[in-house]
């Protein structure tokens, strides 16, 4: 679509009449996104929000917003006193078994007995798959299956 003076004048007129961007687009034979973009570039006045339809007389202040109940501030947490003496030893780390390296390109098969979790960046020499024993019916070991298969409810709780 090429914008010429006649189309721009028609856009300005329809915009001033208060037509929606979709209606202006239908009348001009263009998309509403093209109308919005051109109106923005022409610095036309913004459209009123279709969500906020509160009518008020010009010059009157907006209605006060409803304010929820005020909550009392939480008490400060007590700071534990420093403990004199040696610190307890950190828990022992789980012994990691170095995984065997598989070929970088694996062909999926009906019977996968090794974990197919990718480790590293594909295309780099250090790229490999986990290769631990896979869970029956799944392509991953128990540790990677927990990461790959997350219940929808768990995802929603993490997002909040």
pLDDT of residue 83: 65
Angstrom distances, CA of residue 1 to CA of 14, 100, 125: 18, 59, 50
Give the model confidence (pLDDT) of 90-103 as tens digits: 666 665 556 555 55
Read off the tokens for 74: 């939480």
Report pTM.
0.34
Residue 94 has a pLDDT of 60
């Amino acid at each position: 679509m090429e914008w010429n003076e006649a189309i721009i004048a028609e856009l300005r007129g329809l915009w001033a009449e208060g037509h929606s961007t979709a209606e202006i687009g239908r009348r001009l034979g263009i998309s509403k996104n093209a109308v919005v973009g051109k109106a923005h570039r022409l610095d036309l006045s913004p459209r009123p929000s279709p969500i906020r339809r509160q009518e008020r007389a010009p010059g009157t202040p907006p209605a006060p917003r409803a304010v929820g109940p005020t909550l009392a501030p939480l008490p400060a947490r007590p700071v534990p006193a420093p403990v004199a003496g040696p610190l307890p030893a950190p828990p022992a780390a789980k012994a990691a078994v170095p995984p065997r390296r598989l070929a970088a390109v694996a062909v999926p098969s009906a019977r996968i007995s090794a974990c197919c979790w990718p480790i590293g960046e594909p295309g780099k020499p250090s790229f490999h798959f986990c290769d631990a024993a896979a869970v029956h019916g799944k392509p991953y070991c128990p540790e990677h299956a927990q990461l790959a298969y997350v219940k929808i409810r768990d995802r929603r709780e993490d997002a909040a």
